[in-house]
Structure formats: structure tokens, C-alpha cells
């Protein structure tokens, strides 16, 4: 077994444990490389099937390539595809792009605050509402390709997430199975012990558990695996001739591409190995990750 096999096999084991113990299980799919690898691992674990819904939170500001790619894979893999959105906030134009348009003279600090507030509504808030069923869920009709209102509004008890420990500080403290309170918050100071692959699979009514099969993977591992398995990825990760590409995917207005001429998976792997990106944090292109912004979002249940 090589190191990718070891990572893959542990992730498969975790996915199967999640499927066995959580009757109402869902998997977050951000369309990014990590959660797409996760989707692939689910097909590994369940022999070509994905026996639970995939949940995507659409802020409406995602890059269009991401949405097209999502729907294409959903139909190809026959996925139960659920999409949630904070429609009220969007209608009220209470978002960062709306506010910025109204007031282009915002200072950097004001912008940062507006971005975090926007994430907190469109991502953390929408996610929590979609998961607990208070928000509208839309489901892709695989025949027609149209999203229809989903009648099933039951809360999810288990949510599979593609977080990696090497992404940023707070994630390195996660467990594979990490309980969230009724309020969807994470009590990082009092987590249950986790050892010998015996996970937290019992949970009190009203609470849910986040499951992290990719915790031990690094960014390089993810790309190596994409290469090995030939997993389809969004074109935004590659330079299309302008000398830039996205290293991590989010919303258009809050994200800048990095300088890179990598046009394919091999180039990206070479770039990561060469150390060109070694000293630049992966999420550096994301503008909401201020000093405590991300950690705060995490406590609120984002990702």
C-alpha cells in the first residue's frame, strides 16, 4: 500500500461508519477539489453508489463553471442533489456585493466586516437552515435537470464534510466524528475522545455530528489522488491562458486567482512540490479569512 492507499482506505472506512450509524446522513459538496475527492471516495466506499444526498449551499455568487459542473456530475453519477440558499438575504440585498455596490467608498476594515457578515448569512446561516430543515431545500430532477422544491425537510443527523487538518489552524483540532450542539456550534474545548477507529456515533436528540474523512489529507495528497483516479475537476483550477488560476474556490466577489501557469493536474502537483506555493497559505486568495474571521465562522457551523 502506498501513502495514497492508506489515506483512501481510512477515508472509506470512515464513510462506511457514517453510513451505518446515521440514518439521516448528508454530504456537503462545495464543488471544490476536496469535497469532490470526497464524493469519489463515497463511490469507492459504496461500490459505485452514493447512498445519501449531496448538499450544496449556493450563495448565488458562485462562479458559473462551478454550477454547470455540479449539475453535470450529479446527473452522470445519479446523485441525490440538494441545494440550499438564503433567499431572504439575497432578496433583501443584504450581501457584501450589494452593500459594496451601494457604497464603493468602504474602507478595507469595513469591507472585511461586510464580507464576514455576508459569509455568516449566505454560508453559515444557509447551511444551518438547510441542514436542520428550516430552510428551503431544492432537489435536482435527474430527468429534467430542473431543481424542484424538496418535501423532505427532516434534519440531518450526520453531515460529511471535506475539511482537512492542514488548511488552517482551527481545523487541526477536529476529530473524524465531531459533535455539534443543537445550536449548530462546535465546542472545541470539550470534544469526546476518539481512538482505535471507534468514533462518536451516538448522539443526543437535536444534535448532529460532523464527519471528516479527509482530515489527514494534505493539499498535495488531494491533487495526487485526483491524478491517480482521474477525477474530473472544475476548469477554474487551471490557467486558461491568462497566467492565473484559482487555488481554492468560493464566491466570485471575494476571491482572487493566484499567479500560476499550471494548466493541468501534473502542473499543479509540480507547483506544489516545487515549493512555489509552499509559503503561501492555501486560502490566501479568500478575502473573508481575516485574523479571527474564519474561526468565528467555524464556530457558527460554517464548513
Using CB under 8 A, list all residues that contact another protein.
1-7, 9-10, 12-13, 16-17, 19-20, 43-49, 51, 78, 165-166, 168-170, 172-173, 175, 188-189, 191-196, 198, 200, 202-204, 216, 218, 224, 227-229, 266-267, 269-270, 273, 279-281, 292, 295
8 Å CB contact between 14 and 176 = yes
CB of 84 to another protein, least distance (A): 24
Nearer Cβ to another protein (100/203): 203
Residue 13: other Cβ atoms inside 10 A:
15
CB of 237 to another protein, least distance (A): 17
- Cα 238 from chain centroid (whole Å): 19
Q: How many helices (H) and strands (E) does the chain have?
A: 10, 10
Which residues sit opposite 83 in a β-bridge? 56, 138
Nearer Cβ to another protein (5/148): 5
CB of 98 to another protein, least distance (A): 30
CB of 294 to another protein, least distance (A): 10
Nearer Cβ to another protein (98/166): 166
Nearer Cβ to another protein (144/230): 230
Instruction: State the DSSP code for 101.
Output: H
CB of 296 to another protein, least distance (A): 9
CB of 174 to another protein, least distance (A): 9
Indicate the Cα dihedral angle 222, 61, 50, 157, nearest 10°.
Answer: 100
Of 163, 135, 130, 129, the C-alpha closest to 294 is 163
8 Å CB contact between 32 and 249 = yes
Nearer Cβ to another protein (206/243): 206
Q: Which residues fall within 8 angstroms of residue 286, CB to CB, at 6 or more apart?
A: 248, 250, 254, 255
Nearer Cβ to another protein (92/280): 280
Amino acid at each position: 500500500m502506498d501513502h495514497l492507499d492508506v489515506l483512501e482506505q481510512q477515508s472509506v472506512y470512515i464513510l462506511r461508519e457514517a453510513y451505518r450509524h446515521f440514518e439521516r446522513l448528508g454530504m456537503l459538496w462545495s464543488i471544490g477539489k476536496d469535497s469532490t475527492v470526497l464524493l469519489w471516495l463515497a463511490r469507492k466506499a459504496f461500490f459505485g453508489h452514493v447512498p445519501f444526498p449531496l448538499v450544496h449551499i449556493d450563495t448565488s455568487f458562485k462562479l458559473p463553471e462551478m454550477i454547470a459542473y455540479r449539475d453535470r456530475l450529479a446527473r452522470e453519477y445519479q446523485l441525490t442533489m440538494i441545494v440550499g440558499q438564503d433567499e431572504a438575504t439575497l432578496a433583501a440585498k443584504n450581501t457584501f456585493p450589494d452593500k459594496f455596490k451601494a457604497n464603493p467608498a468602504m474602507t478595507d476594515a469595513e469591507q472585511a466586516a461586510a464580507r464576514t457578515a455576508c459569509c455568516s448569512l449566505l454560508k453559515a446561516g444557509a447551511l444551518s437552515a438547510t441542514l436542520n430543515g428550516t430552510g428551503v431545500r431544492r432537489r435536482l430532477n435527474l430527468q429534467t435537470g430542473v431543481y424542484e422544491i424538496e418535501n423532505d425537510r427532516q434534519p440531518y443527523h450526520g453531515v460529511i464534510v471535506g475539511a482537512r487538518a492542514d488548511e488552517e489552524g482551527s481545523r487541526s483540532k477536529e476529530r473524524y466524528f465531531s459533535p455539534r450542539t443543537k445550536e449548530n456550534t462546535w465546542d472545541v474545548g470539550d470534544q469526546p475522545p476518539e481512538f482505535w477507529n471507534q468514533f462518536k456515533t451516538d448522539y443526543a436528540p437535536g444534535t448532529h455530528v460532523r464527519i471528516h474523512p479527509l482530515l489527514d489529507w494534505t493539499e498535495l495528497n488531494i491533487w495526487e489522488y485526483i491524478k491517480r483516479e482521474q477525477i474530473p475537476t472544475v476548469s477554474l483550477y487551471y490557467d486558461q491562458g491568462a497566467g492565473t488560476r484559482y487555488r481554492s474556490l468560493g464566491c466570485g466577489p471575494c476571491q482572487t486567482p493566484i499567479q500560476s501557469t499550471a494548466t493541468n493536474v501534473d502542473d499543479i502537483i509540480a507547483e506544489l512540490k516545487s515549493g512555489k506555493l509552499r509559503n503561501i497559505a492555501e486560502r490566501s486568495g479568500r478575502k473573508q479569512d481575516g485574523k479571527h474571521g474564519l474561526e468565528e465562522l467555524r464556530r457558527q457551523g460554517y464548513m
